[in-house]
Amino acid sequence: MNDNRKEKRNSRCGFIALVGRPNVGKSTLLNHFLRQKISITSRKPQTTRHRILGVHSTSDTQFIYVDTPGLHHERKKTLNRLMNETVERVISDVDVVFFIVERTAWTDEDELVLNALLNVNKPILLLINKVDQLQDKKRLLPHIEALSAKRHFVEIIPVSALKGHNLEVIDEAVRQYLPEGQFLFPVDQVTDRSVRFLAAEMVREKIIRQLGDELPYEATVEIEKFQDQGRTLHVDALILVEKAGQKQILIGKEGSRLKLVGSAAREDMEKAFEKKVMLKLWVKVRSGWADNERALKSLGYTDYQSI
Ligand code: GDP
Ligand code: MG
């Protein structure tokens, strides 16, 4: 050990699962956790099977955020079953879970997520997001009390992802639950495959936002082209849906809905990649695929090496 660095803390590095029903602010929070940088990477240590959303490194801590797809939806069809299995697997492997809820709201979907966490034997930090929207902050206290009666949380932290409040507090609170050890990822590495993955996620997120329950988890996005041509990034994305009807819904009247999906995803990409983006979207029906595990595997739902 280097003697002049006595007060330096040992490095820690670990996996954090983000869970919470749609719309509580997971993506917004993640952006803040990553300090708006894309530090996602596909170079994974042998032992991880996680779907990695991003990595944030400080001088002595590496926070690896992982996704838990499908936690907030009812089990139905093979697709959702696979996703629920994924959830269990992801959570069994992480060091810490962030359970994200919003303000003083508590919905059936929050309850579903909580139920999935009941038997989880990991430290769970409850993040109460969007507190900036609370007129009367005093209302938070009884709510916190009610939530802490539901199960044990190692910490309950009110946050505002939008304003970036309390992020350092969260980093510090979670640090103690991450194992001591070397960083698993190089600091600030961006790879082509991971940015493709991120681009696909941006499209998928906009589809879900546009269609909500009309198309739950039945759309998959494949990035067919991801070409950096100097000042412009050219991205072609193929959206696979299950039925012709869904294709119609997604495309919308004279393509209006797909246009909304495309422009919102493009804006996200331009922000993230700091470049002008030309995004082209296609929708294709992949008949019966949701019940075909092999097709799912080929699309990367169960094979984490492909991310
Ligand atoms: P996700 O579905 O859980 O990933 O949620 P998003 O991150 O997409 O956020 C859903 C909506 O909530 C978006 O319109 C966000 O701008 C908004 N939002 C997220 N965090 C906050 C917050 O702290 N305060 C407020 N007022 N809005 C927020
Ligand atoms: Mg999201």
User: Comparing C-alpha atoms, which of 92, 75, 93 is closest to residue 83?
Assistant: 75
| pLDDT at 223 (0 to 100) | 84
Starting from the edge strand earliest in sequence, which strands make up the sheet with 61-66, in order? 52-57, 61-66, 12-19, 96-102, 124-129, 155-158
40 and 134 share a domain? yes
Contact 279, 235 (CB under 8 A): yes
Give the CATH number for residue 32.
3.40.50.300
| pLDDT at 51 (0 to 100) | 61
Cα 22 to ligand 1 centroid, rounded to whole Å: 9
Ligand 1 atom with the smallest distance to the CA of 161 is: 23
Token pair recorded at residue 215: 């198309």
Q: Is the pTM of this model over 0.95?
A: no
Residues with C-beta less than 6 Å from any ligand 1 atom: 20, 22-28, 129-130, 132-133, 160-162
Cα 9 to ligand 2 centroid, rounded to whole Å: 33
**Which protein residue has the closest C-alpha to ligand 1 atom 9?**
25
165 and 205 share a domain? no
Give the residues across from 55 on adjacent strands: 64
| pLDDT at 68 (0 to 100) | 67
Name the residue range of residue 24's domain.
Answer: 12-175
**Average pLDDT by stretches of 10, the chain with 307 residues:** 62 91 82 58 40 79 77 46 60 88 90 81 94 90 93 94 85 95 73 70 84 67 83 89 86 92 93 87 74 48 30
Question: Where among 145, 175, 205 does a domain terminate?
Answer: 175
Cα 51 to ligand 1 centroid, rounded to whole Å: 21
Contact 95, 122 (CB under 8 A): yes
| pLDDT at 211 (0 to 100) | 81
Asked whether residue 49 is domain-assigned, the answer is: yes
Cα 183 to ligand 2 centroid, rounded to whole Å: 26
164 phi-psi bin (left φ>0, alpha ψ -120 to 50, beta other): left
Separation of alpha carbons 141 and 160, rounded Å: 16
Token pair recorded at residue 217: 């988890």
Q: Provide Rg for the chain, Cα atoms.
A: 20
